[in-house]
Amino acid sequence: MGTVDGKSQASAKAGGAARPRRQREAQSGQSVARDMPWARVFAPSGISGRRAAFIAMEAAVATLVMTGIAWLVDPADPLLLRTGFGWVWLVPVVFALRYGTLAGMASALLLLLAWYAPNTHAAHTSFPGSFFFGGFVLTLLCGQFGDIWIGRQRQARIANDYLAERLSILTKNQFLLRLSHERLEQDVLARPATLRDSLARLRTLALNDEDDGPLIGAARFLKTAAQACQLETASLFAWSGNTVQTTPVASVGEPFTLDTADPLVTEARETLALTHPESSAVSDAATGAEAKTRYRAVAPLLDAGGRHVALLVVERMPFLAMTRDNLQFLLVLAGYYADSVRHADISRSVLQAFPRCPYDFALDYARLVRLLRDTGVESSLVALVFDASELGVSLHEHVLRLRRSLDAQWPIVTPTERVVLTLMPLSGESAVAGYLLRIEENLRAQFGADFESAGVATHSMRLSADSPIERLHQFLRLCHADE
């Protein structure tokens, strides 16, 4: 692949260097014979001034040569008037066809001067008016044809140069697109699961947990994390208070016992942050930490209240997977799972403040606030307010059926309004705008009404890590749906 790409790039560079030279040659020539060897001799390419000088010199020399040949054939009739055909007019006609009217008429005027050159001949012979009149008319007609053809040829050449340039640009863009597709394929193969897919799996795991172990759904969480972050050997150890169990609750690959004296484990427990051999904290804490530790990464699992849940220890993972993005991906999944383990406690404050709030909405709201506080990943809350008319009720029910799999919805019904709160994980302002546009287009297609004609009010806000319950209260008051 590398060899083929190198040849392609070399060919593209060589073609790019040779194209301007060919383009200049194409723009300087004015006839289809410009590529012939004799054309380069008699009419070489160059600037307009030099080219005009070459054309004038060529016309003068060719006319004089033709006149000399005619004089050698018949010195008494140097213009070959008595031959029955105006052979000498071939030179002006050729120049008129090739270079236009001016070149042809210049050659014809030289023939006229050649008539008066031999004084004795001009004195004893009457002037051949019809001969020169017919020759000039023929030269003018051929010059007119030559001018029109040269103009059309120049326009066609300009169009061809433009198309050639566009083709070169399209070729380069296609090459870049192919490289982008290859890179995308490599990324997809390297990371088979996206963040949205992984969070959707963890959400299903939390809402349908049936395990009786110390960590609910630990095996399924570890399997999801291994698939998303390319973990080969990893174990999950329960962590309560200051005690970390050395026996794994769940494992991927061969189970192993936790070494609590390992530098990575010690650093992770002290800083409550994900550590790996290349982290600066571990390097400062112990010289040659990468040689002393047997683990590749250690991630503490903390719930939204900051309480210890578990310790995720990775013993083996591919070298190419040891990237900042992949480790941050693992940290996000670990925090999301830790919240799901303690979901009853985490969502209690939301449910106490809003008794009619659905459980999954309260759980996701607490999780996303925690993600925003720890990792800076933004999420948004969108509200659609409908009136209590028959159309408003139909639109309200229709929007509820359009919920995405990862979103959480909270329908609120009041005597005067119907509100749909949609919690959109990992979504910023652009995602909210796209969501509203999709909903409006769907309503227009199904009911023939947009937000304005149907009287639908739209509100949105980004989740806040500071006072999330109060911000939700303010947002509900804005939608006239405060409980």
Q: What is the pLDDT of residues 145-198, one digit of tens each?
A: 888 888 888 888 888 888 888 888 888 888 888 888 887 777 666 555 566 666
Beta strands 297-302; 250-252: pairing state: unpaired
If you average pLDDT over residues 424-447, what whole number do you get?
91
Q: What is the mean pLDDT of the chain?
A: 78
| CATH C-level class of 195-342 | alpha beta
In this prediction, residue 190 carries a pLDDT of 59
Please tell me the distance from the alpha carbon of residue 383 to that of residue 47, in angstroms, as a whole number: 70
Sequential DSSP letters for 266-293: HHHHHH-S-B-TT-HHHHHHSTTHHHH-
Helix, coil or strand: residue 379: coil
Paired tokens of 161: 């140069």
In this prediction, residue 191 carries a pLDDT of 58
| Single-letter residue type at 389 | S
Residue 386 has pLDDT above 90, yes or no: yes
Contacts of 469 (CB under 8 A, 6+ apart): 349, 350, 353
If you average pLDDT over residues 464-480, what whole number do you get?
89
- Which of 6-10, 17-21, 298-302, 436-440 is predicted most confidently? 436-440
Q: What value does the CA radius of gyration of the chain take, rounded to a whole number of Å? A: 43
Q: Which residues of 363-399 are buried (b: 16+ CB within 10 A; e: fewer)?
A: bbbbbbbbbbbeeebbbbbbbbbbbeeeebeebbeeb
Count each helix (H run) and each strand (E run) in the chain, helices first.
20, 9
Indicate the domain borders of the chain. Answer: 2-172, 195-342, 347-478
If you average pLDDT over residues 9-23, what whole number do you get?
44
Residue 419 has pLDDT above 90, yes or no: yes
H-helix or E-strand containing 385? strand 380-387
At residue 70 the predicted structure's pLDDT band, cuts being 50, 70 and 90, is: confident
Please tell me the distance from the alpha carbon of residue 301 to that of residue 239, in angstroms, as a whole number: 9
Paired tokens of 464: 């806040």
- HSE-CB at 12 with a 13 A cutoff on CA atoms is 17
Paired tokens of 372: 């925003």
At residue 345 the predicted structure's pLDDT band, cuts being 50, 70 and 90, is: low
If you average pLDDT over residues 57-73, what whole number do you get?
80
Please report, for residues 336, 366, 472, the alpha-carbon distance to residue 62 in angstroms, rounded to integers and kept in the order given. 91, 95, 95
Please tell me the distance from the alpha carbon of residue 277 to that of residue 296, in angstroms, as a whole number: 6
Residue 15 has pLDDT above 50, yes or no: no
80: left (phi > 0), else alpha (psi -120 to 50), else beta? Answer: left
Evaluate whether 475 touches 459 at the Cβ level (below 8 Å): yes
Residue 17 has pLDDT above 60, yes or no: no
Alpha helices in 191-247 (DSSP H): 195-207, 218-229
Q: What is the pLDDT of residues 227-273, one digit of tens each?
A: 878 888 999 998 888 888 888 988 998 889 998 889 889 898 888 88
| Across 125-129, 269-273, 391-395, 444-448, least confident range | 125-129
Residue 370 has pLDDT above 70, yes or no: yes
Question: Topology of domain 347-478, per CATH?
Answer: Alpha-Beta Plaits (3.30.70)
Residue 313 has pLDDT above 90, yes or no: yes
Evaluate whether 311 touches 300 at the Cβ level (below 8 Å): yes
